[in-house]
Amino acid sequence: MMCGDEYRESLRRLKPEVYYLGEKIESVADHPAFIPHVNSVALTYDLARAPEFEELLTTKSHLTGEKINFFTHVHHSCHDLVRKVKSLRALGQQTGSCFARCVGHDALNAIYSVTYDLGKKNGTEYHQRLVNLLKEVQAKDLFLSGAMTDPKGDRSLSPSQQKDPDQHVHIVARKQDGIVVRGAKAHITGAVNAHGHLVMPTTSLKEADQDFAVCCYVPIDTPGVIHIFGRQTNDDRKCSGCLIDQGNPEYGIVGGEALIVFEDVFVPWEHVFMCGEYDFAFDLVERFATAHRQNYGGCKTGLADVLTGATYALAEVQGTVGASHVRDKLVEMVHLAETLYCCSIACSCQGYALPAGNFMADPLLANVTKLNVTRHVYELARLAQDIAGGMLATMPSESDWKNTSVGKYVDKYLKGVADVPAETRMRLLRLIEGMTCGTALVESMHGAGSPQAQKIMLMRRANWEHKKRLAQKLSGTGESRHD
């Protein structure tokens, strides 16, 4: 297993094509815009070597028997699923940010099971190819992104009906030694500081869409792969030299999402795991979505622990922690966070084995988990902002605080409790600002699928006929009155 510094060095050896604010970036590991994201992922390597986190973040490979980082593991029990949630919460507590590796982890688990099913039905070699890649990922401790979401173009049209077919990643050529793909993937977490991308379909497909039924692995510096890093709330603060104004200077606020363009990218057959099998696209989408939505009551609870702690500490600094209404709001923040955690634990405990032997969380409860996140995280942010007060949005900058002319006034008037430095209040406010304003909230809403996606899955999984029969039996109506 790698350590954090070895991970950084591995990035320096790669030469991906990355752009940020119109500039081509030479070293992702050393550019101030990306360093917090690199640090956050690096911690997943360092903590796996720390004795107090070893049980959560390491395991034994079912393929080789070797000790591996948990983020390269295929789950083989409900215990594994629960451990995943606990590890995500622990990492969220340590980073206060997104640590990105769960997406590729979920993709590996989903592709592992679907390629097995494909092989059983069609006699394909996809599963063995995936196993071979998994062995490499485990041996080298690679960090892969999970690239599912397409730009989509006109949302009322299927992929094959788009005026511009590149709105969905698709196969443009099948060759003797591999395929050529074109298109893009949007909002991809950890894209610029990953070692490679697991590309998956973004929706269920029909026969006319078979060229869009493609799943493959693409190393990050493959020719034709272009990364355009997305802007984030207050991201220019990373490059300003001000640490306090960043809020969380070491690990950032979110996962560093990017648009990935595939401009006629060649993929050898050994890295192709689906090529036209449109009838398996839905299974892959559902299994990935289930795994990723399972996560959110883990990582978001870890972040909520940090946010609640920052809000409590700020209330102490401001002299409001003793007020009953403030304490009531703090307790409500704890209640909301633990509710999310309960959902993730529940869907993990209700997990089950797939034909490939790996385990999937309960899809219904996983979608409930993510749907709750789209609401509870916003309420957590509202409560934190309520307690923080208006200074959260109007506080002078770190540069003003350091200014020889006006700094003394900033220092004087930003104090709360007399014996606590103004700097303490400023740091806590900036951390809360970063966690509750802008990009971080949007990620909670749309990461792992927007709320409507969860509602669609709940509609499919709710077992309406069973519920109706229960009511008919008790009310003495319908065909089931004598059951």
pLDDT tens for each residue of 110-140: 999 999 999 999 999 999 999 999 999 999 9
Neighbours of 162 (CB within 10 A): 18
Residue of 17, 37, 58, 98 with catalytic role = 98
Task: Using DSSP, state whether 348 is helix, strand or coil.
Answer: helix
Considering the chain, what is the average pLDDT of its residues? 97
Q: Is 398 contained in some domain?
A: yes
Strand partners, 214: 275
Cβ neighbour number for residue 22 with a 10 Å cutoff: 6
Q: For 178-192, what is the mean pLDDT?
A: 98
- Among residues 296, 312, 376, 433, the one annotated as catalytic is 296
How many contiguous H segments (helices) and E segments (strands) does the chain have? 16, 14
Q: Does residue 98 have an active-site annotation?
A: yes
Q: Are 131 and 113 in contact (CB under 8 A)?
A: no
Provide the angle, in degrees to the nearest 10, between the axes of the packed helices 363-388 and 281-318: 20
CA angle at 98 for the pair 372 and 247, rounded to the nearest 5° = 105
- Taking each helix axis from N to C terminus, what angle separates 324-349 and 78-95, rounded to the nearest 10 degrees? 150
Amino acid identity for residue 226 in this structure: I
**Mean pLDDT for the stretch of residues 150-169:** 98
Looking at 278, 304, 323, the residue that finishes a domain is: 278
In this structure, the answer to whether residues 248 and 198 fall within a common structural domain is yes
- Whichever domain contains 182, its CATH number is 2.40.110.10
Q: Which of 88-102, 211-225, 245-259 has the lowest mean pLDDT?
A: 245-259
Among candidate residues 20, 102, 187, 197, the one labeled active-site is 102
- As a whole-number percent, the residues of the chain with pLDDT over 90 amount to 95
- Total structural domains within the chain: 2
pLDDT at 227: 98
Q: How confident is the model at residue 255 (pLDDT cuts 50, 70, 90)?
A: confident
Residue 403 in domain:
yes
Whether 308 is catalytic:
no
357 and 329 co-located in one domain: yes
- Of 248, 143, 236, the closest CA to residue 189 belongs to 143
> Which residue type does 345 have?
I
73 an active-site residue?
no
Contacts of 320 (CB under 8 A, 6+ apart): 326, 387
Active site residue 257: yes
Mean pLDDT (whole number) for 41-51: 98
Q: From the candidates 73, 195, 292, 376, give the one annotated as an active-site residue.
A: 292
Query: Residue 409 is encoded by which pair of tokens?
Result: 């006034």
Give the integer Cα–Cα distance in Å for 439 and 230.
Answer: 10
**What is the C-alpha radius of gyration for the chain, rounded to an integer number of angstroms?**
24
Q: Is residue 483 part of a domain?
A: no
Q: Is the dihedral of CA 382, 86, 335, 306 positive or negative?
A: negative
Q: Which residues contact 196 (CB under 8 A, 6 or more apart)?
A: 142, 144, 145, 217, 218, 219, 220
- Active-site choice (95, 115, 124, 189): 189
Q: Verify that 88 and 224 share a domain, yes or no.
A: yes
Domain boundary among 231, 257, 278: 278
216 catalytic per annotation: no
The first and second tokens of residue 50, run together, are 């720390």
Q: What are phi and psi of 215, to 5 degrees?
A: -135, 130
Residues 1-19 pLDDT 10s:
999 999 999 999 999 999 9
Q: Are residues 133 and 19 in the same domain?
A: yes
Mean predicted confidence (pLDDT) in 33-39: 96
Instruction: Out of 299, 311, 347, 398, pick the active-site residue.
Output: 299
Instruction: Let me know whether 90 and 14 are in one domain.
Output: yes
Is residue 476 included in any domain, yes or no?
A: no
User: Is 465 inside any structural domain?
Assistant: yes
Which residues share a beta bridge with 198?
Answer: 146, 217
Q: How far is CA 207 from the centre of its chain?
A: 31
- For residue 102, indicate whether it is catalytic: yes
Instruction: Give the burial class of 415: count Cβ atoms within 10 A of its Cβ; 0-12 exposed, 13-18 middle, 19 or more buried.
Output: middle
Do residues 233 and 332 both lie within one domain? Answer: no
Q: Is residue 475 part of a domain?
A: no
Q: Which of 112, 127, 251, 257 is catalytic?
A: 257
Q: Which residues pair with 360 in a beta bridge?
A: 352
The reply to whether 423 falls in a domain is: yes
Same domain, 272 and 291: no
Looking at this protein, which amino acid is placed at residue 70? F
Condensed to tens digits (0 to 9), the pLDDT of residues 455-478 reads: 999 999 999 999 999 999 999 998
> Do residues 235 and 307 share a domain?
no
Q: Which pLDDT score is estimated for 242?
A: 86
Q: What percent of the chain has pLDDT over 70?
A: 99
326-350 residue pLDDT tens: 999 999 999 999 999 999 999 999 9
Tell me which residue range forms the domain holding 303: 284-469
Contact 71, 44 (CB under 8 A): yes
Nearest-angstrom CA–CA distance, 91 and 73:
17
Same-domain pairing of 242 and 305: no
First to last CA, the chain: 58
The verdict on whether 479 is a catalytic residue reads no
CATH number of the domain enclosing 377: 1.20.140.10
Residue 292 has what pLDDT? 98
Q: Say if residue 175 is in the same domain as residue 212.
A: yes
DSSP-based three-state secondary structure for 434? helix
Closest to 293 (Cα-Cα) out of 365, 238, 188, 240:
365
Rounded to the nearest 10 degrees, what angle do helices 4-13 and 35-48 cross at?
130
Examine the fold and report which residue of 262, 278, 294 is the final residue of a domain before the chain moves on: 278
Token duo for residue 457: 């899955």
Query: pLDDT-derived band of residue 483, with 50, 70 and 90 as boundaries?
Result: very low
Amino acid letter, residue 245: D
Q: Does 296 qualify as catalytic in the annotation?
A: yes
Q: What is the pLDDT of residues 133-144, one digit of tens each?
A: 999 999 999 999
Q: Tell me, yes or no, whether 336 and 251 share the same domain.
A: no
Residue 205 buriedness (CB in 10 A; 0-12 / 13-18 / 19+): buried
Q: Would residue 100 count as lying in a domain?
A: yes
Among 85, 80, 114, 79, which Cα is nearest to 198's? 114
The pLDDT score that the predictor gives to residue 74 is 98
Residues 205 and 77 in one domain: yes
